[in-house]
């Protein structure tokens, strides 16, 4: 069990889902991962829902508002930073796009939304009362964040300069894969969008740990989800699949070989 009470800057610390049907999303993920939910009132807006696993916060979700009409349901990955204003300015200077300027999220913290040079969106998070996920790296919780990008060279340089990550290229598989590290700890992965992946935009994908990849995929199908990439083995890592929920938001699950 990996319980968290703080995150080193440059570490993915939170994820949330923008969905067109919050009630359906709760039903889907609650049944799939065993999550419970708490709605947090938001002034002049729909509630922000906290998903919990064994009373620990693991993710958020919210109903798409009128100002977001036309944007497909999707998961957003958050990165912890010391100063969201300074990090936003740095991201812009490095060729990123400021999608949402820094703003306060009540007492929870302060955030901004950034697009990298290839168009992949992510959020910056400066913690207040909320540091991020209280539980990671176990079944039903976030365990990995992975960038699929149309410009791996530009994205690699951007994130290395923005967060101080180092990068290591692995060319042994069917696609080049970059492992980012934040200090001495794994930070994220990156791979270029290949022709066999179809016409998809650059984006950050989220991975949830599961005990059994195939069983999880079968359950997701029963709950109205669909398979994007069927269960596939990654030697010495685990067995993963890419799927979408009942509102077509994509995510991945993985049964890790060394889950302990």
Q: Taking 80 as the threshold, does the pLDDT of residue 256 lie above it? A: yes
The answer, yes or no, to whether residue 70 has pLDDT greater than 90, is no
Write down the pLDDT at residue 197. Answer: 82
Domains of the chain: 2-127 (3.10.180.10), 135-256 (3.10.180.10)
Please identify which residue in the block is written with the tokens 């955030």.
111
How far is Cα 167 from Cα 29, in angstroms, rounded to an integer?
33
What is the rounded CA–CA span in Å between residue 138 and residue 173?
Answer: 26
pTM: 0.96
Q: Do residues 245 and 225 touch, judged by C-beta distance below 8 A?
A: yes
Give the pLDDT of residue 55: 94
User: Closest by alpha carbon to 79, among 43, 49, 116?
Assistant: 116
Buried b (16+ CB within 10 A) or exposed e, 119-148: ebbbbbbbbeebbbbbbbbbbbbbbbbbbb
Q: If we measure between CA atoms, which residue out of 121, 94, 92 comes closest to residue 203?
A: 121
Q: Is 173 exposed, middle or buried (0-12, 13-18, 19+ CB in 10 A)?
A: exposed
Residue 142: pLDDT band by 50, 70, 90 thresholds? very high
The mean of the pLDDT values for the chain is: 95
Q: What is the pLDDT of residue 242?
A: 97
pLDDT band at 143 (very low <50, low <70, confident <90, very high): very high
Q: Given this model, what pLDDT does residue 258 score?
A: 75
**What pLDDT is stored for residue 195 in this prediction?**
83
- Cβ proximity of 239 and 213 under 8 Å: yes
Q: What is the pLDDT of residue 259?
A: 62
Centre a 10 Å sphere on the Cβ of residue 208 and count the other Cβ atoms it contains: 23
The pLDDT assigned to 69 comes to: 76
pLDDT single digits (tens) 15-39: 999 999 999 999 999 999 999 999 9
Where does the chain have alpha helices with state H? 22-33, 84-93, 152-163, 213-222
Coil, helix or strand at residue 87: helix
C-alpha to C-alpha distance for 81 and 9, rounded to whole angstroms:
5
Distance CA 236, CA 258 (A): 8
pLDDT of 43 higher than 90 = no
CA-to-CA distance for 8 and 231, rounded, in angstroms?
Answer: 32
Q: Band of the pLDDT at 213, cuts 50, 70, 90? A: very high
Average pLDDT over residues 53-58: 96
What is the average pLDDT across 231-244?
94
Angle, helices 213-222 vs 22-33, to 10°: value is 150
Max CA pair span of the chain = 51
Quote the CA–CA distance of 196 and 203 in Å, as a whole number: 16
């Amino acid at each position: 069990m990996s319980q968290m009470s703080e995150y080193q800057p440059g570490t993915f610390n939170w994820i949330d889902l923008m969905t067109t049907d919050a009630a359906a999303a709760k039903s889907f993920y609650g049944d799939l991962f065993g999550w419970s939910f708490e709605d947090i009132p938001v002034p002049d807006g729909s509630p922000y829902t906290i998903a919990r696993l064994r009373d620990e916060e693991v993710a958020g979700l919210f109903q798409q508002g009128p100002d977001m009409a036309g944007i497909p349901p999707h998961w957003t990955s958050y990165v912890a930073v010391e100063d969201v204003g300074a990090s936003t300015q740095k991201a812009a200077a490095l060729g990123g796009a400021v999608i949402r300027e820094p703003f306060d999220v009540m007492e929870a913290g302060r955030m901004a939304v950034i697009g990298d040079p290839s168009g992949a969106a992510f959020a910056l998070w400066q913690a207040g009362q909320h540091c991020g996920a209280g539980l990671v790296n176990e079944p039903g919780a976030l365990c990995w964040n992975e960038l699929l990008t149309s410009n791996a060279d530009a994205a690699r340089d951007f994130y290395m300069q923005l967060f101080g990550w180092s990068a290591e290229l692995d060319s042994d598989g069917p696609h080049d894969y970059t492992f980012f590290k934040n200090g001495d700890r794994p930070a994220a992965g990156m791979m270029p969008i290949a022709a066999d992946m179809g016409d998809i935009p650059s984006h950050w994908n989220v991975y949830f740990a599961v005990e059994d990849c195939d069983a999880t995929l079968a359950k997701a199908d029963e709950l109205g989800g669909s398979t994007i990439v069927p269960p596939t083995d990654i030697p010495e890592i685990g067995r993963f699949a890419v799927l979408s929920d009942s509102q077509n938001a994509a995510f991945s699950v993985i049964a890790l070989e060394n889950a302990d």
